[in-house]
Amino acid sequence: MSFVDSTMSSGPSSGTADSLANKHALYLSWDLRGDHHAAVRPTADELVDHGWEVTVVAGSDEASGGSPGGDGATWFGPDVRLVTVPSDLSSRGGALLDAVVRLHETHPITLMVAGGGPASGIRAAQHLWDKERVPFVLDLHDSAAILRFTRDGEGTDGSAVTGTAAELLAEAIEVWFPDDTSREACEAACPSVVSKSRVVTPALKQPVGAAEARGGLRAAVADLGPRVESAHTMQRLLQERGASAPAEVTVFEVPSPSTRTVRMMDTLRAAGVVTKAVHWGAKTELVQGLGFRSITFVNRKYSLYSQVRAHLAEVASAEPGTEEGRLRDLYQAMLDIPVPATRDIWQDLKIWSQDWFDVARLFARYPSPVFWAADLNALPPAVWAKHAVPGTRVIFDAHELFTELDYLDPTQRAEWEDIAQHFLPEVDLVITVGKGIAGELAKRYGLPRVEVVESLSLPTRYPRSDVRRVVGVAEGTPLVVHVGNVSGNRNPLLAVQLLQRDPRVHFAFVGVVKGTMADTLSRAAEDAGVLDRLHLVGSVPMEELQHFLSTADVSAILYSPRTSENLRLAMPNKLFDALGAGVPCVAAAGTAAAEYLEHEGLGHEFADGDPGSLAAAIETVLADTTLHDRVRQSAPRFLWPAIEPRLLELVADELAAAHFSGSTHRPPALVSSGPQTQTRKASGSYSWRSAPMKRAQRALAWRLRRLALRLER
């Protein structure tokens, strides 16, 4: 039993665009008439400056004088190859698409930049992405054309982003805008753009040599290297491993994808992996905005045990390899590996199990080579579907030690523990957020391998305000922050006690203050006479958080290791958010976070629950300028790009190990032949509880005690 720790200290992968064997960039522009070439030219020149071989393929109308004379040397430098073809905006591909395909066959293209004109250029970029997984940038220099033109044809002016446009925006590795207005409008319509949007290209009539425009373009082209390398790395990894299955992943998380899952799926999607999500119907727009290809489900209330048996009887004679055959094997797996509602006894998790039933059916109907379960409450349907679709793999991402969540009552904890014991051994790859939880998972469930993929911070691409400016604290005044949700089990009142101890310090809570905690904190601070130095900032968008925190002096992690085993072992997002911003941290002794800070020299621990010790630790950090320098220099280690190469390797391994051969691009009813399955031989049902009556009695006693406490109040 062991865990495998990622080498976070090694920083980002050494792979860059310079390591690509072929650096051939293709710029697609639907038209070069008028001033359109003035926006294409600086991009092409900048690519050349960064070592790219550049070809510009453009549509032109020779009859109207749109064709550039000679070799186009008057428009582009001698290192840029110009290929013009007749404009054909009426067809779904036309000459522009044909030219791109021929070029790729004779001189493979490494990167495409699609100009923001009508559909031809966008369609050509989509085609090469779909067929060859060549990464592309959308350069919307002359219009917000992505809002109007997609492979589905022209839409209505000013319309919201359609599903196809949202998909295209999600697949692009970068999206470039002419100004902040168009960028912000597109980000509001499609949140998947946020992590990869830029204001890059100068306005059409702005002088090409404008320093500010050139500088922004230079930075954008320089940053393309790692993104392009990521896409080609995944293709190389799959080829080296002999992967035959489609590069597709279907993820399930309750109730909708978390920040961690979204970052992971963004990374995979940019690398050419098709990502799909099963999610709550109420979250459809949110999930589509994040770039997922979505499959909705609706909770239904019924007796699941009898329903499973009835459904199994209906498809008992189904042919292997058909949709009905997969569903038959799925129902059998539900009975062989039961959860509470597939056992004919009273239980607590019946509602969960009904949703799992719906999700599992969707997994079996629309299979992928890899099923991804985000935390324990998403795992059962993925495991059931694995038995229904042979050759598939299951990745389990443990965001926390779920069975030790502090809000679970004893009966719930026992049920989740039983689920973990029976379902985790069926998983092919287990990943988690930190070394402590990895070791505990390996020890408890006999897992031979648990990989660590930390929840590193998202880099800020568009700095706005910062915490010091928002709370109105002058430079030189010590400012301590707490990052993340504020609830009673995170010991927030310790901040008020700190302010009483040290009259110089200001303390800011950056995150959602839950329930009545805002009133509780304010009253306590007012009683202590420190209300003017306690600040409740509220939530900050994740894409802005890194910069927002950068002006703080210290980040405090206040929760106690005694609250739960889960919190004791956690490596929380707030730790990496602060370190990624270059801010040292303090944490309660006995937590994995404190142990890490002390070991890496990035902060200090304080005695759990002791305001005096907390004040002393913060004073030590404030006085140590060397520590601050060390944390700032280490900050890139804690940003999300540092972990992406490891994530790609892990997913590539699972895709290569999958022997799934079914197509997920057509409706299942149209699939003439699919993966051949055999009826799964029951190997003896797992026992849900050895003493179900005793378990029910304990659960009832627990609820009676809770009722008595409410009545006493």
pLDDT digits (tens, 9 = 90+) for 599-613: 999 999 999 999 999
Sorted by sequence, the CB contacts under 8 Å of residue 672 that are 6+ apart come out as none
* Helix (H/G/I), strand (E/B), else coil: 431: strand
Largest CA distance in the chain: 91
245 vs 654: which has the higher pLDDT:
654
At residue 702, the pLDDT reads 53
In this prediction, residues 121-138 reach a mean pLDDT of 85
The percent of residues in the chain predicted with pLDDT above 70, rounded, is 73
Residue 113: which H helix or E strand, with range? Answer: strand 111-115
> CA-to-CA distance for 586 and 594, rounded, in angstroms?
7
Q: Where are the strands (E) in 523-584, listed by range?
A: 534-536, 554-557
Query: What's the angle, vertex CA 93, arms to CA 90 and CA 96, rounded to 5?
Result: 100
pLDDT greater than 50 at residue 213 = no
- pLDDT bin (cut points 50, 70, 90) of residue 632 is very high
In this prediction, residues 180-195 reach a mean pLDDT of 78
At residue 679, the pLDDT reads 31
pLDDT greater than 60 at residue 342 = no
Q: Where are the strands (E) in 392-531, listed by range?
A: 393-398, 429-432, 450-452, 479-483, 506-510
**592-601 exposure pattern, b = at least 16 Cβ within 10 A, e = fewer:** bbbbbbeeee
Sorted by sequence, the CB contacts under 8 Å of residue 393 that are 6+ apart come out as 369, 370, 371, 386, 428, 429, 654, 655, 657, 658
361 vs 704: which has the higher pLDDT:
361
Positive or negative: CA dihedral 291, 297, 298, 301: negative
- The residue whose two tokens read 């707490």 is 482
> CA-to-CA distance for 345 and 491, rounded, in angstroms?
39
Residue 138: which H helix or E strand, with range? Answer: strand 136-139
Residue 174: which H helix or E strand, with range? Answer: strand 174-177
pLDDT greater than 60 at residue 460 = yes
pLDDT greater than 70 at residue 143 = no
> CA-to-CA distance for 248 and 456, rounded, in angstroms?
24
The separation between CA 157 and the C-alpha centre of its own chain, rounded to angstroms, equals 31
CATH fold of 17-238 reads Rossmann fold (3.40.50)
> CA-to-CA distance for 305 and 340, rounded, in angstroms?
9
pTM over 0.85: no
In this prediction, residues 491-517 reach a mean pLDDT of 93
- pLDDT bin (cut points 50, 70, 90) of residue 116 is low
In this prediction, residues 572-585 reach a mean pLDDT of 96
228 vs 700: which has the higher pLDDT:
228
3-state helix, strand, coil in the chain (%, to 5): 50, 15, 35
At residue 66, the pLDDT reads 43
Rg of the chain over Cα atoms, rounded to whole angstroms, equals 28
The four Cα atoms 423, 428, 434, 437 give a dihedral, to 10 degrees, of: 30
CATH entry 2.140.10.10 includes domain 467-638: no
pLDDT greater than 90 at residue 675 = no
379 vs 280: which has the higher pLDDT:
379
> CA-to-CA distance for 93 and 98, rounded, in angstroms?
7
Answer whether 451's CB lies under 8 Å from 6's CB: yes
Answer whether 567's CB lies under 8 Å from 406's CB: yes
pLDDT greater than 50 at residue 457 = yes
* Helix (H/G/I), strand (E/B), else coil: 18: helix
- pLDDT bin (cut points 50, 70, 90) of residue 280 is low
Sorted by sequence, the CB contacts under 8 Å of residue 283 that are 6+ apart come out as 255, 256
Sorted by sequence, the CB contacts under 8 Å of residue 197 that are 6+ apart come out as 174, 175, 176, 177, 183, 186, 187, 461
Structure tokens, 531:
């209300």
> CA-to-CA distance for 489 and 46, rounded, in angstroms?
53
- pLDDT bin (cut points 50, 70, 90) of residue 466 is very high
pLDDT greater than 70 at residue 128 = yes
CATH superfamily of 245-456+653-670: Glycogen Phosphorylase B; (3.40.50.2000)
Among 11-15, 386-390, 692-696, whose mean pLDDT is lowest?
11-15
Which one, of 30, 230, 195, lies nearest residue 114 by Cα? Answer: 30
pLDDT greater than 50 at residue 427 = yes
Instruction: Give, in order, the Cα–Cα distances in Å from 560 to each of 171, 485, 506, 525.
Output: 42, 15, 22, 21
Instruction: Tell me where in the chain the CATH 3.40.50.2000 domain(s) lie.
Output: 17-238, 245-456+653-670, 467-638
Tell me how long the chain is.
713
At residue 682, the pLDDT reads 36
**Contacts made by residues 212-220, CB under 8 angstroms, sequence distance 24+:** 213/42, 214/42, 214/46, 217/42, 217/43, 217/46, 218/46, 218/49, 220/174, 220/176
Residue 314: which H helix or E strand, with range? Answer: helix 304-314
Burial of residue 456 (CB within 10 Å: 0-12, 13-18, 19+) is buried
663 vs 254: which has the higher pLDDT:
254
Sorted by sequence, the CB contacts under 8 Å of residue 141 that are 6+ apart come out as 39, 40, 43, 115, 116, 176, 178, 200, 201, 204
In this prediction, residues 47-72 reach a mean pLDDT of 67
- pLDDT bin (cut points 50, 70, 90) of residue 122 is confident
In this prediction, residues 312-339 reach a mean pLDDT of 88
At residue 665, the pLDDT reads 35
pLDDT greater than 70 at residue 686 = no
**95-127 exposure pattern, b = at least 16 Cβ within 10 A, e = fewer:** bbbebbbebbeeeebbbbbbbbbbbbbbbbbbb
Answer whether 320's CB lies under 8 Å from 274's CB: no
- pLDDT bin (cut points 50, 70, 90) of residue 693 is low
> CA-to-CA distance for 200 and 516, rounded, in angstroms?
45
pLDDT greater than 60 at residue 323 = yes
At residue 475, the pLDDT reads 94
At residue 162, the pLDDT reads 52
Answer whether 391's CB lies under 8 Å from 659's CB: yes
At residue 207, the pLDDT reads 45
In this prediction, residues 431-448 reach a mean pLDDT of 95
At residue 462, the pLDDT reads 82
